[in-house]
A and B are shown apart, each in its own frame.
Chain A
């Protein structure tokens, strides 16, 4: 995984609440055995018409929002299933940061493990950020702050361990594997 320190990109506001993982990537695309290439299916049922053509009215297809890497989403983003295909699809689609006033547990967990940064802000801060739709903003993971175009900042916090993993680009499996002796001791003690 690539280390993440600071992301500067355009902001796209998707105000819909409760965007579930079936919207982020519909189940019929889950028969893959790979984790790459899912970006074209991201938001598929909102993005394409029934003939497979791109819908102009889909919010992220507005010219000024295309290619935005920071998504400000309505409350309870990522609810629903545990499919890790959701962060895989978002990353492949070009989203690097999701900001919301509430992010569903499993989705948040899955995102952190893949280098998609989930950030929870208050409703008031959500409104402040939304005012800069389509403008460039910066998200600094090291300082844990969002830098808005007007020069103001909004602080956030990411769980310390996950943050260190992201900053250093290390994955958590290596950490667990290094605890092999402790796991064996635990197993032995329970068997006794």
Chain B
């Protein structure tokens, strides 16, 4: 490990995983006058937040310092419908097409490998990195995208940056950063059956508040976290930014190691075993102190959804929408057309979206399909299922999930961000209510005037069948009543 720190970088007590990764990546430690120079192991790039950074490099005559540490894909502005008979992709508009073309040109010009159309590996950037095995424990990972925290599931320090910083990383493989504060979110006990990782993170955001994590990196720990699969950990870490945190991570364990074994970018053979030992050593040392500690009881978590216009406005699906005189809550209720104190169950749903870097992986599609198998979605509901990557799409089709969705009345689409950000033309109409497995329910996030309820894949699927907000645990009951 490196030793060229000019200043002592940390106190000598036991260190958290966050501090350990930080210290190991300081080209220069921070001082009062200057932030640290932090080395970046993996830089993920997509078409929306990179064009101006490449222009800057070109204007200054700079090269990409480490093309092999740069992973590029197309996801945000890409259509989710296949090419038409003329072979052309149905872009929402000329500027979306130009943005994709511009990244294709930049990759050629700067010598970067593009996981683009026809590569077989294209996908939402935070779905693709892990499934390639490019995301590994102990790494620093950045992307011009706030949901980079997803990669924290592997015990990596992964966070979002702006376009100017994308330029910094392309040119120097480094960033200027101040050391973040640390927070431990410990989840004790076991999640109850029918409660998903999405429900847990919505619950946690409700506890912390949308700005509760500001300035911090969260380590999720405790019995309930250890029991989560890698996919569930990704869903959890993904939404750390929704509590305002820079990043969230889970220490690597055997679940992490086994998930990485055999992935294309993971080490092979004996090198893998050595790497696995090194990965496990990143865990926080016993007795490490965090700047803030929060405890959550897993048994208290129920299927949870949002009722307002930010991801901290949450409620267990079966309970009433909280009533509050707070003007911010009032504003949110007015936008959503909901009443404080009223149940949210039974609110009519127009659109259901399954996908995104939060819940667009194979396990998410399986959970949704399990509820839809042999059922049909309500006649008035439009349901879009968008796999998170080409690989997810292939694997889902191999097990026939596409048929389950189609037979239930849903649309099965090509991979991309789609209705999570609604910049590729996949939009919710003004006033419509969408239940979405994505991560943001901001005003207009899914299209101007669109109203969004965030939920797990199972809850979203149950809502599609019921045609209204529903509790996935009660779907059978609902069906019988309707019959």
Contacts and interface: CB of A to CB of B under 8 A. Distances in A.
B176 A182 contact: no
Interface string B37-61: 1010000000011011001100010
A139 to B, nearest CB: 22
A13 interface: no
B167 interface: yes
B443 interface: yes
Interface string B420-437: 011100000010000000
B210 A76 contact: yes
A179 B162 contact: no
Interface stretch (B94-102, B297-305, B362-370, B403-411): B94-102
B448 interface: yes
Interface string A69-88: 00000111001111110000
A22 B93 contact: no
Interface string B142-162: 001110000000000000111
A152 interface: no
Interface in A136-189: 159-161, 171-173, 175-177, 179-180, 182-183, 185-187, 189
A9 B194 CA distance: 55
Interface in B65-124: 65, 76-77, 92-93, 95-96, 98-99, 102
B167 A79 contact: no
Contacts of A171: 164
A63 to B, nearest CB: 24
B365 to A, nearest CB: 24
B32 interface: yes
Given A76-B211, A82-B162, A179-B172, A31 B93 contact: yes
Contact of A33 (B99, B162, B423): B99
A179 B172 CA distance: 9
- From DSSP, what is the main secondary structure of chain B's interface residues? loop
A57 B173 CA distance: 46
Interface residues of A, number: 52
A183 B442 contact: no
Contact of B161 (A22, A106, A176): A106
A127 interface: no
A74 B65 CA distance: 40
Contact of A106 (B28, B37, B51, B160): B160
A84 B164 contact: yes
Contacts of A102: 211, 214
B162 A106 contact: yes
Given A76-B244, A186-B39, 9 more contacts: A17-B328, A18-B328, A45-B448, A76-B214, A82-B162, A110-B164, A173-B171, A182-B27, A183-B27
Interface of A: 16-18, 20, 22-23, 26-28, 30-35, 45, 50, 74-76, 79-84, 102, 104-106, 109-110, 113-114, 159-161, 171-173, 175-177, 179-180, 182-183, 185-187, 189-190
18 contacts: A27-B445, A31-B48, A33-B99, A33-B102, A45-B443, A45-B448, A45-B449, A50-B430, A75-B211, A82-B49, A82-B144, A109-B165, A159-B178, A160-B34, A173-B171, A175-B176, A182-B4, A186-B27
Interface of B: 2-4, 27-28, 32-35, 37, 39, 48-49, 51-52, 55-56, 60, 62, 65, 76-77, 92-93, 95-96, 98-99, 102, 144-146, 160-165, 167-168, 171-174, 176, 178, 210-211, 214-215, 241, 244, 246, 310, 328, 331, 421-423, 430, 440, 442-445, 448-449
What 9 A-B pairs are tightest by C-beta distance, nearest first? A110-B162, A33-B51, A84-B162, A82-B160, A31-B95, A76-B211, A84-B163, A113-B164, A82-B146
